[in-house]
């Protein structure tokens, strides 16, 4: 169930459900009829409902649609050759609007990741109990991701962009393909083992360095979470997937920002936000890794932090590391670290005091 929940949280920006909980049971028969038409969707749907049900007002003020993961028509398939000489080997990840493949160069064994951002997908309309095809303009989202990946290329702590192209669909729309560095998502690694305290500190240092580069380029990532943190073969960590990112001062549609489980309170509330929503999310990731992942995944704890409650203190975690994490996750933005550099400096001091050895992250 934990793995299934992680898959569901990997649905990019799936924060668009609009159901009045008071009337849910009256609509149960209609709802069950809809679910019966979609094999395997019931667990996903019920988790979605519990994830977005606000215990304070018993309603979910979102749009009416649940995107269905992987229901878009793929323009690219296993064995296809894209960008002249890159052969698609296997699918390694799917979101609601994108698919990521492992590929190799036809003239060598170099392996990149190929991300396909789809121009269309299907959604489940609960009110109409139907599945409908939606075509949307992906150009804005793609341009934001490309601009930020190209601008941050070569920093050593950001997943490297290599190239991009477009693929024509039969309906005239275009899917965008991005070639990038192939790394293992942290979320995949966590399925096989937990990170040690030393590894969590190293993760914090590396991702703070990534966010420091983001801030210098006026970029707010907006979606720091395990599936967007990548591990290289030397044990270093890199930040990837800038599809939800924004430039400081610019606005994004609320349904394109963040993942509820790691979202800062001001983003959840629809208020203005700044760079430290990213260190807030990083703090939550570190908190989860040190606390076995149970505390913030519980619905009550999730919504209590949105209402101002402090996260419960971690057991078996030294006071210095705990204070860094809890400051990063403070409810009020002004009580947090003002920048990634400030959080990084505290982690480096802890690193020096505990003798944690840094690991290189600037090699593929």
Quickly list DSSP for 213-230.
HHHHTTEE----SGGGEE
- Residue 24: give the domain boundaries: 2-67
| Domain identity same for 45 and 126 | no
Confidence of residue 245 (pLDDT cuts 50, 70, 90): confident
289 phi-psi bin (left φ>0, alpha ψ -120 to 50, beta other) = alpha
| Domain identity same for 190 and 320 | yes
Helix H or strand E segment including 114: strand 112-117
CATH number for position 125: 3.30.200.20
Lowest mean pLDDT among 117-131, 257-271, 283-297, 349-363: 117-131
In the chain the first and final C-alpha atoms are separated, in Å, by 33
What is the rounded CA–CA span in Å between residue 322 and residue 318? 6
Confirm whether 360 is domain-assigned: no
Q: Which residue carries 């009580």 as its tokens?
A: 335
CATH number for position 225: 1.10.510.10
Lowest mean pLDDT among 248-252, 263-267, 347-351: 248-252
Distances (CA, A) of 110 to 4, 92, 144, 162: 31, 16, 27, 13
What is the rounded CA–CA span in Å between residue 30 and residue 164? 44
Residue 20: phi and psi, rounded to 5, are -85, 115
Tell me the angle at which helices 340-354 and 197-216 cross, rounded to the nearest 10 degrees. Answer: 150
| Domain identity same for 231 and 277 | yes
| Closest to 150 measured CA to CA, from 179, 129, 127, 121 | 179
Tell me what the mean pLDDT of segment 145-159 comes to: 76
Confidence of residue 298 (pLDDT cuts 50, 70, 90): low
pLDDT of residue 364: 41
Contact in structure between 245 and 215 (CB atoms under 8 Å): no
| Domain identity same for 330 and 190 | yes
Confirm whether 359 is domain-assigned: no
| Domain identity same for 243 and 325 | yes
Q: Report DSSP state, residue 317.
A: -
| Closest to 4 measured CA to CA, from 35, 41, 36, 34 | 41
244, HSE (Cβ side, Cα atoms, 13 Å): 28
pLDDT of residue 211: 96
Q: Report DSSP state, residue 354.
A: H
| Domain identity same for 235 and 284 | yes
Tell me what the mean pLDDT of segment 258-269 comes to: 91
Q: Provide the number of structural domains found in the chain.
A: 3
- Written as one string, the DSSP assignment of 121-167 is EEEEETTTTEEEEEE---HHHHHHHHHHHHHTTTSSSBPPEEEEEEE
Burial (CB count <10 Å: 0-12, 13-18, 19+), residue 110: exposed
Helix (H, G, I), strand (E, B) or coil at 281: helix
Confidence of residue 291 (pLDDT cuts 50, 70, 90): confident
Query: Residue 274: CB partners within 8 Å, gap ≥ 6?
Result: 220, 248, 333
Q: Is the pLDDT of residue 13 over 60?
A: no
What pTM was estimated for this model as a whole?
Answer: 0.72
Q: Which of 70-84, 91-105, 288-302, 336-350 tops mean pLDDT?
A: 336-350
pLDDT of residue 208: 98
Give percent of the chain above pLDDT 90: 40
Helix (H, G, I), strand (E, B) or coil at 97: coil
Lowest mean pLDDT among 137-146, 332-341, 347-356: 137-146
What is the rounded CA–CA span in Å between residue 189 and residue 192? 6
Confirm whether 76 is domain-assigned: no
Residues with a catalytic annotation lie at: 223
pLDDT of residue 152: 72
Token readout for 143 is: 């341009």
| Domain identity same for 29 and 150 | no
| Domain identity same for 207 and 170 | no
| Domain identity same for 266 and 303 | yes
Lowest mean pLDDT among 5-9, 242-246, 266-270, 322-326: 5-9
| Domain identity same for 246 and 268 | yes
Confirm whether 334 is domain-assigned: yes
Confirm whether 255 is domain-assigned: yes
Tell me what the mean pLDDT of segment 324-341 comes to: 96
Q: Spell out where the chain has E strands.
A: 65-67, 81-82, 86-94, 98-105, 112-117, 120-125, 130-135, 161-168, 174-181, 184-185, 219-220, 229-231, 237-239, 246-247
pLDDT of residue 68: 41
Helix H or strand E segment including 351: helix 340-354
Token readout for 7 is: 């898959």
């Amino acid at each position: 169930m934990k793995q299934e929940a992680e898959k569901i949280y990997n649905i990019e920006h799936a924060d668009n459900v609009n159901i009045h909980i008071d009337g849910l049971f009256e609509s149960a028969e209609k709802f069950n009829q809809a679910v019966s038409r979609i094999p395997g969707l019931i667990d996903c749907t019920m988790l979605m409902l519990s994830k977005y049900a606000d215990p304070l007002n018993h309603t979910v003020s979102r749009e009416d649609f649940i995107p269905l993961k992987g229901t878009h028509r793929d323009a690219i398939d296993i064995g296809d050759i894209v960008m002249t000489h890159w052969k698609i080997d296997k699918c390694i990840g799917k979101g609601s609007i994108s698919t990521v493949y492992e590929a190799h160069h036809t003239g060598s064994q170099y392996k990149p990741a190929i991300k396909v951002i789809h121009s269309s997908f299907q959604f489940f309309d609960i009110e109409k109990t139907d599945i409908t095809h939606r075509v949307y303009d992906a150009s804005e989202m793609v341009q934001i991701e490309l601009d930020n990946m190209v601008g941050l290329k070569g920093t050593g702590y950001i997943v490297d962009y290599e190239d991009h192209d477009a693929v024509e669909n039969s309906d005239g729309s275009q899917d965008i393909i991005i070639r990038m560095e192939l790394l293992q998502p942290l979320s995949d690694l966590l399925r096989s083992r937990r990170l040690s305290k030393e590894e969590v500190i190293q993760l914090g240092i590396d991702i703070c360095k990534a966010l420091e580069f983001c801030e210098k380029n006026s970029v707010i990532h907006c979606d720091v979470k395990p599936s967007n943190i990548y591990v290289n073969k030397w044990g270093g960590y890199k930040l990837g997937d800038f599809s939800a990112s924004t430039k400081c001062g610019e606005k994004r549609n609320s349904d394109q920002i963040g993942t509820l489980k790691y979202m800062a309170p001001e983003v959840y509330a629809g208020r203005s936000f700044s760079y430290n929503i990213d260190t807030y999310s990083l703090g939550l990731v570190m908190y989860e890794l040190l606390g076995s992942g149970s505390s913030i995944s519980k619905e009550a704890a999730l919504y209590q932090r949105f209402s101002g409650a402090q996260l419960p203190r971690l057991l078996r975690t030294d006071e210095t590391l705990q204070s860094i994490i809890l400051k990063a996750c403070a409810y009020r933005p002004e009580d947090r670290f003002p920048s990634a550099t400030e959080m990084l400096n505290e982690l480096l001091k802890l690193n020096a005091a505990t003798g944690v050895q840094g690991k290189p992250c600037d090699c593929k």
